[in-house]
Amino acid sequence: MNFKKIILSLLVISVAITFTSCGGNDSSNSKSATDSTATGSSNTQILSAGSTFVYPLFSKMFSAYNQKTGVQVNYQSIGSGGGIKQLQNKIVDFGASDNPLSDDQLAQSPVPIIHIPDCLGAVNITYNLPDNPSLKFTPDVLADIYLGKLTKWNDPRIQSLNPGVKLPDLQISVIHRSDGSGTTFIFSDYLSKVSPDWQSKVGKGQSLNWPVGLGGKGNEGVSGLIKQTPGALGYVELAYAIQNKMPVASLKNKSGNFVAPSLASTSAAANVEMPADMRVSLTNTDAADGYPICSFSYILLYKDLSYNIKSEEKAKAVVDLVKWIIQDGQQYSEALEYAKLPESVVTKSLDILKGVTYNGKALQ
């Protein structure tokens, strides 16, 4: 008797839960947003989502910030695309993306969105050859390898760039990312800039129609395929390459210097004139000692925070957090293999942050 009752009531409850939780996403989201704002300043909760690339850095930064100020930041690393969508749906207080928004995306937004760089990343070329010599590539050689025009390691064009290395008579197995990724976007942005052929045949994007090669999922998938395949060549994030001690190639930059990828050469690449809205591609920049395949990772904010944040107090907390990330927070970057923002970028970002308002009123 009792047992049946329990089962019955459990069934009824679970049915009820199913129905109530189906009652639309919007209402539950706005509810949680008001809940978090109502709790007051002592334990403010800031909600954010986006790029998986900055997640390790953000989780370190946010735990340090929580110890310092008591503000809790909940960051969901769901990918840049997801971060943008959640910002557009007003689910999060700020988003994070590895690529700036396109003109179209900005035009669609009812309230202007600003871009604040939070750190720098770079894309490295890595390979699997006997003894893993350090190699040099020029942009046209790299583009032609990825276009499938250069297929052998001992091709004269590669050999002449690396006179001290005996390159084997081996097929180049091209490896790329199979998942949609900011890393692919940066890499294809670079190839589009340096090769008109690539620009017209493939273009740039998070996912591409690759002319040749095998795809691996994530940095670990790419590096797994490279380690497995003699003669493989692929691209991974700078931090991933450093942590796994992978062989990396030096690239010839716009000024004609061969530059090895490192945190310093990545920061150096950003030491150039910035546009007013910070939406800039850092591939193939004019910096003489800069590595040519770099990119900002961005924090995305609404210019008027009353659009997605319920209280002025919380809006202020969000702006304070962003200011801390680009100033004091930068001390955590290099230990985690992210390149620091150059001083000029920090100054300019602080200027942009001064323009952030709440209901038309300046926040600072």
Partner 1 sequence: MIPAISYKAKRINFKEKAFKKTLALSAIIVVVILIAIFLTLLINSFPSLKAIGFKFFYQTTWDPVSDRYGALPFLVGTLLTSFLALVISTPFSIAVAIFLGEYYKKGPVAEIFKNIVDLLAGIPSVIYGFWGLFVLVPLVRELEMKLHVPPYGVGIFTSSVILAIMILPFSVTLSRQVISMVPSHLKEAAYSLGATRHEVITKIIIPYTKSGLFAGLLLALGRALGETMAVTMLIGNTHDLPTGIFSPGNTMASVIANEFTEATGRIYTSALIEMGLFLFVVATIINIIGKQIIKRFTLE
Sole binder of partner 1 in the list 100, 139, 215, 292 (CB under 8 A)? 215
CB of 7 to partner 1, least distance (A): 9
Report if residue 342 touches partner 1, rule: CB under 8 A: no
C-beta separation of 341 from 119 below 8 A: yes
CB of 256 to partner 1, least distance (A): 30
Report if residue 79 touches partner 1, rule: CB under 8 A: yes
Report if residue 221 touches partner 1, rule: CB under 8 A: yes
> 């930041």: which residue's tokens?
73
Q: Which of residues 309-338 bind partner 1 (CB under 8 A)?
A: none
Sole binder of partner 1 in the list 44, 173, 250, 333 (CB under 8 A)? 173
CB of 206 to partner 1, least distance (A): 4
Report long-range pairs for 166-173 (Cβ below 8 Å, ≥24 apart). 167/129, 168/129, 168/130, 168/231, 170/129, 170/230, 170/231, 171/231, 172/145, 172/231, 172/232, 172/233, 173/213, 173/214, 173/229, 173/231, 173/232, 173/233
Question: Which span (201-209, 258-266, 305-313, 318-326) binds partner 1, by CB under 8 A?
Answer: 201-209
Report CA dihedral (219, 225, 228, 231) to the nearest 10 degrees.
-110
57: nearest Cα among 269, 330, 245, 243: 330
Question: Which span (214-222, 267-275, 277-285, 352-360) binds partner 1, by CB under 8 A?
Answer: 214-222
Sole binder of partner 1 in the list 48, 82, 234, 323 (CB under 8 A)? 82
Report if residue 76 touches partner 1, rule: CB under 8 A: no
Question: Which span (29-37, 82-90, 298-306, 321-329) binds partner 1, by CB under 8 A?
Answer: 82-90
CB of 215 to partner 1, least distance (A): 3
Distance CA 137, CA 162 (A): 8
Reduced to 3 states (helix: H, G, I; strand: E, B; else coil), residue 277 is: coil
Sole binder of partner 1 in the list 71, 73, 135, 208 (CB under 8 A)? 208
CA 46 to chain centre: 20
Reduced to 3 states (helix: H, G, I; strand: E, B; else coil), residue 267 is: helix
CB of 151 to partner 1, least distance (A): 12
Report if residue 130 touches partner 1, rule: CB under 8 A: no
Structure tokens at 74: 């909940």
Report if residue 200 touches partner 1, rule: CB under 8 A: no
Binding mask 24-53 for partner 1 (x = CB under 8 A): ------------------------------
Structure tokens at 45: 């909760």
Structure tokens at 24: 């639309």
Report if residue 78 touches partner 1, rule: CB under 8 A: yes
**Which residues make beta-bridge pairs with 176?**
215
Distance CA 352, CA 350 (A): 5
Report if residue 146 touches partner 1, rule: CB under 8 A: no
Q: Which of residues 177-196 bind partner 1 (CB under 8 A)?
A: 178-182
> Which CB sits closer to partner 1, 85 or 149?
85
Report if residue 250 touches partner 1, rule: CB under 8 A: no
Distance CA 37, CA 45 (A): 7
Report if residue 228 touches partner 1, rule: CB under 8 A: yes
5-33 burial code (b ≥16 CB/10 A, e <16): eeeeeeeeeeeeeeeeeeeeeeeebeeeb
Contacts of 273 (CB under 8 A, 6+ apart): none
Residues that bind partner 1 (CB under 8 A): 4, 8, 11-12, 15, 18, 78-82, 84-85, 105, 173, 178-182, 202-210, 213-217, 221, 224-225, 228-229
